[in-house]
């Protein structure tokens, strides 16, 4: 959330487990704020785009010649799930070599899929006090009702567990399925956002 051409006035970093509702919460906030005020940015977008385009595994080139569809990697499809484990491994290799590799692609707004301490550290170092962390939590039962099934190598990987012991998030949004409770929490966060943007 930044003035046109200026530095961001607020960067919200959202994290949470699969099917906790991170995208739902960030899209709800964006719709209330308006697209001219903020953008929802996904760290996984640059990862998926590059993975689809030019990934190399064990010396073999994969990507467009194998018809990986970048747009389908962005949605909640079985197509994305079929490639998830390999995308995680590939992304971890890139991050080990350069922790800011994917973060630099994102510059301002609501970052809907922060997954690692190194992601948060990069934004805090780049933007300082305008960075706020938001954890979206949902019960296992709520996540299962949204289609979540524990997948070894995915749900126990750093991409899902890297922030489990992060410590104090600036905000915690409980998204267990109670619409009024969620609406009240979003209202509180929106008040803070508006105050920071004045």
Annotated binding residues for substrate, written as ranges, equal 175
Going by the annotation, the residues of the binding site for ATP are 17-23, 146, 176, 185
Nearest-angstrom CA–CA distance, 119 and 126: 11
Parallel/antiparallel/unpaired status of strands 171-174 and 131-137: parallel
Coil/strand/helix, residue 193? helix
Nearest-angstrom CA–CA distance, 109 and 135: 16
Going by the annotation, the residues of the binding site are 17-23, 146, 175-176, 185
CA 74 to chain centroid, in Å, comes to 11
CA 172 to chain centroid, in Å, comes to 15
Q: How far apart are the first and last CA of the chain?
A: 12
Q: Checking phi first, is residue 145 left (phi over 0); if not, alpha (psi -120 to 50) or beta?
A: alpha
Beta strands in the chain (DSSP E): 11-15, 40-41, 56-57, 60-61, 109-111, 131-137, 171-174
């Amino acid at each position: 959330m930044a003035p046109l051409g200026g530095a961001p006035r607020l960067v919200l970093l959202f994290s949470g487990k699969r099917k906790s509702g991170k995208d739902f919460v960030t899209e709800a906030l964006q719709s209330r704020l308006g697209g001219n005020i903020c953008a929802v940015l996904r760290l996984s977008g640059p990862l998926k785009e590059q993975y689809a385009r030019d990934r190399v595994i064990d010396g073999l080139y994969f990507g467009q010649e194998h018809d990986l569809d970048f747009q389908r990697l962005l949605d909640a499809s079985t197509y994305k799930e079929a490639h998830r484990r390999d995308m995680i491994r590939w992304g971890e290799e890139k991050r080990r070599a350069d922790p800011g590799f994917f973060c630099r692609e994102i510059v301002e707004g609501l970052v809907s899929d922060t997954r690692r301490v190194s992601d948060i550290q990069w934004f805090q170092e780049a933007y300082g006090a305008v960075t706020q962390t938001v954890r979206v939590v949902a019960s296992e039962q709520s996540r299962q009702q949204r289609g979540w099934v524990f997948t070894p190598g995915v749900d126990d990987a750093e991409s899902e567990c890297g922030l489990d012991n992060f410590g104090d998030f600036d905000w915690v949004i409980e998204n267990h399925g109670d619409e009024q409770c969620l609406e009240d929490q979003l209202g509180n966060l929106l008040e803070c956002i508006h105050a920071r943007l004045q």
